[in-house]
Structure 1
Amino acid sequence: MIDVYSWPTPNGHKVHIMLEECGWRLGRDWQVHAINIGQGDQFQPDFLKISQNNKIPALVDPDGPDGKPISLFESGAILLYLAAKAGKLLPKTDRQKFDVLQWLMFQMGGVGPMLGQAHHFRLYAPEKIEYAINRYTNEAKRLYGVMNAQVAKHPFIAGKQYSVADIAIFPWLRSWQNQGIDWADYPHLKVWFDRINARPAVQRGVAVLADARKPLTDDKARDVLFGQTQYKKR
C-alpha cells in the first residue's frame, strides 16, 4: 500500500487526485497520514527523513521501480512518478509529453508560487502591504489570462487530453476568491474548471482530509508556517 504524507492544501490535493485518477483507491491501495502543517508536524524527524524540505506532500511506495521501496517529496515529482507507475495521464510520444511537461512546469514555477504569495499577502500577512498585494494579485490575474487563452483553444490545459498538467493546476484555482479573481474575466477557464471539478476522482481527491483543515487564525500556526519556527536550523 502506498503511504501518502499530506494535508488538504493545493499541493496535497494534487497527489490525492492523481492517485484516484490512476485507479488507486484510498483505504484499498493507498493510505494518508495527516501532517498538520499548522501544528508543526512537518518538522518531526520521521517526516524529515522522507521530505528533507519539510514540505507536504511526500510519498513512500513499498513497491518502487526496482521492486524496492522509494520515497519522494515535491508534488510535481510525485505526479510524474505516479504517471509512470500507472502508465496514465502522461502521453507516450515525445511531442505530446513535452506539451504536458511545459504546462506542469508552468504550474510548479508560476501558478503555485505566485498564487501562494497572493494568498499570503492578501490573507495571512500581519500587515497589509499594498505593493505586495497589488503585485501578486496582478500576477495571479496575468496567469489566469494565460490559462484562459490556452483553454479557449483546447479542452484541456495541454491540449486534447486530460493529463497531469490539469491535475497540477486545478487545486490552486479552487481558492480563486482569495486571489482577487472574478471568473467573469476568464470564461473559458471557468468552463475548464467546472469540467475538472465534476470528475468523480477529483471530488474524491479534494475530500481527503478536508474535515481536518481549520482556518489559519492563531498566532502559533502563523509562526509555524511563516515565522521563526519555519526558519529554524535543523
Structure 2
Amino acid sequence: MASNPPKPIRVWLTLFAAPGPNPWKVVFLLEELGLNYEVKSFKFDDVKKKPFTDVNPNGRTPAIEDPNTDLTLWESGAIFQYLIETYDSGRDSGAVPGHRLSYVRFRERQLCNQWLHFQTSGQGPYYGQCGWFTHLHPEKYQPAIDRYANEIRRVLGVLEGVLAERPADAQWLVGGKMTFADMAFVPYNFRLSEILQQPWDEVWEGVPHVRAWHERMVALPSWKRSMAIRARLMDEQGLQWNGVPKGIETFTEYEQQIAAKDKKA
C-alpha cells in the first residue's frame, strides 16, 4: 500500500467532540504518516442518527471510511492499528518509510499493542470520566471527581516508572523511537490542565519524564497541524472549549436544547 493513498480517507467527528481527545488521536496519526484524508465534521445533535449510525451503529466518533481498501472502522484503537498495518507496513515506497512508527520484530509489535490497549482502556476512560464529573455533570459530586483524578495520577505514575527506566536519549514506550503507542497518549494528556483544573506546571509534578515525553510530541509539526484544524472547526461553529455552543452553560442544558429541537421537528 502506498504511503499516501490516492483517494482520501474520510474521518468522521462530531463538532461536540471537536475539542475532545479521541478524534484527534486519529488526525494526529494521519498527519504524522502524511496520509491523504478529509474531515467530515457534523453536529453532535446527529451523532445517534443516520447517516452516521450507518457508519458507526454505536453513534460515537471517530470513525473512518477508507475507499482505498473499502473498509469502514470505528473505535480509535482499532483505527490506529489499521492505519499502522496498512500504511506503515514497510511495503510502501513513498515519502514516509515503512515502519517509521512501528516495528517489524514480533516482540516490539506486541508491546506497542499492549501500550495502545492501556491507553484505550486505562488512560482514556479515567481521563474522560474525570472531565465529565469536573465540567459537564449537572451537579458537582466530589467523590467521583476525586476518584477519577486519583486514577489519572495512577496512570501517570505507571508511565513515569517505565519512562524513567529508559536510556536518557531514548525515552519512548517501546524501543528507541517514537511509535504509534506513544502518540496515542498525547490528546488526553494535552487536556490535563483543564481536566484536573490545575496550572500546567502542577499537573506534571512528580512525573518529569512523562512531561518531557509529552512535550517532545506536542512540538511535532503534525500535532500543530492537527490542533490548527481543531481550532478552525471550533471557530467556525462558535463553540466553547468543551464543544458546547456559546451561551449554554452545561452539557445537560445542551441535551435539553437538542431534545426540544427534535420534539418541535
* DSSP-derived class of the 1:158 partner: coil
2:115 counterpart of 1:103:
yes
Per-residue CA shift, 1:9-63, capped at 9, x if unaligned?
A: 2101111011111121xxxx211011333xx131230111111111111100111
Match of 1:56 in 2: 61
**Counterpart-to-counterpart distance in 2, 1:112 and 1:91:** 24
Matches within 5 A, 1:51-130: 51-64=56-69, 69-87=70-88, 88=99, 89-130=101-142
TM-score between both structures, scaled by the size of structure 2: 0.76
Per the alignment, residue 193 of structure 2 pairs with 177
Q: Which runs of 5+ in 2 are unaligned?
A: 1-7, 89-98, 197-201, 260-265
Q: Which residue of the partner structure matches residue 50 of structure 2?
A: 45
Equivalence for 2:182:
166
The number of residues matched between the two structures is: 219
Shift of 1:221: 4.4
Partner amino acid, structure 2, of 1:55:
R
Q: 1:160 to 1:3 in 2, by over 3 A?
A: same
User: Are 1:21 and 2:32 counterparts?
Assistant: yes
Secondary structure, aligned partner of 2:145? helix
Task: For 2:227 and 2:110, locate their aligned partners in 1 and report how far apart those are by CA, in whole Å.
Answer: 27
Whole-Å Cα distance in 1 between the matches of residues 160 and 50 of structure 2? Answer: 42
Q: Where in structure 1 are there 5+ consecutive unaligned residues?
A: 230-234
In our comparison, the structure showing a higher alpha carbon Rg is 2
Give the CA deviation at 1:211: 2.9
- Partner of 2:55, secondary structure, is coil
With the length of structure 1 as denominator, give the TM-score of the two structures: 0.86
Contact 1:140 1:179 in 2 (8 A): no
Letter of the structure 1 residue corresponding to residue 189 of structure 2: L
Residues 1:32 and 2:39 aligned together? yes
Shift >3 Å, 4+ stretches: 219-229
Does the CA-based 8 Å contact 1:4-1:31 persist in structure 2?
A: yes
Larger relative CO (CA 8 A, sep 6+): 1 or 2? 1
Instruction: After superposition, give the CA deviation of every residue in 1:88-134 in whole Å (9 maximum; x if it has no partner).
Output: 42212110011111110000001000000010111111111111011
Q: Which letter does structure 1 place at the counterpart of 2:40?
A: H
Contact 1:16/1:205, CA 8 A, preserved across alignment: yes
| Residue type at the aligned position of 1:212 | L
In 2, are the aligned partners of 1:34 and 1:209 still within 8 Å (CA)?
Answer: no
The reply to whether residue 207 of structure 1 matches residue 228 of structure 2 is yes
Given the superposition, is the C-alpha separation of residues 226 and 131 from structure 1 closer, same or farther in structure 2, using an over 3 Å criterion? farther
